[in-house]
Structures are given as structure tokens and as C-alpha cells.
Amino acid sequence: MVTDAGGTAPFHQELEEHSRPVWDAIFELPFVREVGDGTLALERFAYFIAQDVLYLDQFARVLARGATLADTPATREMFLRHAANVGRVEERLHEDLAPRIGLDVEAVRRQEPAPVTVAYTDHLLRVAHTGTLGELVAAVLPCYWVYARVGERLARRLPDHDVYRQWILAYASPEFHRSVDEQLALVDRLATLAGADERRLMHQWFLRSLRYEWMFWDQAYRTLRWPVAP
Ligand SMILES: Cc1ncc(C[n+]2csc(CCO)c2C)c(N)n1
């Protein structure tokens, strides 16, 4: 185990080691594998992007809450920049991809989010509004870290599919990886300030979000609808 100058492993490494089976399950998901080899049915990808539009609208609010809770000017600036980036980078990706996959983003915004989208965003919003800054950062970390790891893996051999290639490259970019490193450094700093109870909650919210990341892709692969429509 790599340790810092004080002889203890950084907190993010502890998180990663405890969650290894979930990481492995994410890399094994049919959705991820099929984006990687370019064979994913477009209907599943379009469902994913639609749910992602709804997810990101809530995610930006969670990051804005991070700016409110920030304990230093540098941390506040980071959250404000990341919140603005969700609007810019993610939405540009969606608005660019949406017409190519037959999706009307404004129509999507009028829809009720699907079950896993609701569960994941409600979890993030609850932690953001009832937890500490450390808890919030632990809860949002899988969102960054999973996409960085998946982007990095899939970019090793890009598929022969324009839409999937563009999506992968967005998450393999150095700019995106810098924002992931900022969140990893922040979770490490906040963990050193946290007591045992807060660190336990940070572990719990991290793992819950990581599982929701798995479920979010699984939901799209199954194009899950709410049972029993009115
Ligand atoms: C379900 C879901 N989880 C994570 C991301 C990736 N992501 C969304 S916002 C953000 C931070 C700033 O861009 C990152 C990395 C996604 N798109 N959808």
C-alpha cells in the first residue's frame, strides 16, 4: 500500500480497496463492454443519455451546495467551477449527441426520471443537504472517479462508432482527469479533518453512490420503466 509522508494511506485508497468488487462489477457491465466495442444498441444509449440529462440537472445543484459548505476559498472556487462545467461540458456533449441519437433534450426534461435516476439523485441531494462537506464529497466522488476509470479503459482501444467514440473521449480527456484529481485530493484532505463517525459515513455514502453508478448503467441496459403506468 502506498502511504503519504505521515505513514498512512490516503483516504481515497482506503475507499478503493473496500469497494473493489463493485469496481470490478462496473467494468464487467454489458453496457460498458458494448460501448467499448461499439455494439451497444442505440436505443439503450439514448435511454442512458435521457436519464443522464435528468441526473445532471440535480448533480449541478449538489455541486452548488458543495460551494455553500466549502471551508476554504479554493474549495469554494473549485465547486463553482465544477458546477458551471456540468452545464458546459456535459450539456454540450448531450446537445451534440442527442440529435444524432434521435433524442429531444427539452422533451426529456418534461419526463419523470426513471427509478434508479430518482434513487441516485435523491441520495445525493439528501447527503448534500443533511451531511457535512466531507460526506458530500464522498457521495459525489464515484461520479467523477468511475467515469475517469471507464473512460481511460475504453480509450485504450476506441470503437468504430462515432457516437460512442466521442462519449469515451470526453471522459478520457486530461481536462476531465484534472477535475477528478481535485476531488480525490479534497476527499483526502477532508478525511484527515474528520472524526471516526464522519469517516464511517463517508465510506457509506461513497459505496452507495458507487453501487448507484453500477445500477444507472444496468437500468439503461434494461431500459427500465416504472411498473404500472397510470
Ligand atoms: C450517472 C452519471 N454519473 C457520472 C457522470 C459523469 N459526470 C457527471 S457530472 C461530472 C462532473 C463534472 O463534469 C461527471 C464526471 C455522468 N455523466 N452520469
Can you tell me the distance from the alpha carbon of 129 to that of 159, in angstroms, rounded to the nearest whole number? Answer: 40
Cβ(55)–Cβ(121) below 8 Å: yes
* Pocket flag, ligand 1, residue 119 (CB < 6 Å): no
Provide the b/e sequence for 95-111 (b: ≥16 CB within 10 Å). eebbeebebeeeebeee
Interhelix angle 133-154/42-69, nearest 10 degrees:
150
Number of Cβ within a 10 Å radius of residue 220:
25
Number of Cβ within a 10 Å radius of residue 93:
18
Domains and CATH numbers, the chain: 11-221 (1.20.910.10)
Distance 168 CA to ligand 1 centre (A): 12
Q: Tell me which residues are annotated as active site.
A: 143, 213
DSSP state of 103: -
pTM: 0.95
Cα–Cα nearest to 167, from 151, 180, 178: 151
128: which 3 cell numbers?
Answer: 448534500
Which of 56, 88, 217 for mutating ligand 1's site (highest number of atoms within 8 Å of CB)? 56
Show pLDDT as tens, one digit a residue, over the chain (230 residues). Answer: 455 555 678 999 999 999 999 999 999 999 999 999 999 999 999 999 999 999 999 999 999 999 999 999 999 999 999 999 998 877 787 778 888 999 998 899 999 999 999 999 999 999 999 999 999 999 999 999 999 999 999 999 999 999 999 999 999 999 999 999 999 999 999 999 999 999 999 999 999 999 999 999 999 999 999 999 87
DSSP state of 90: I
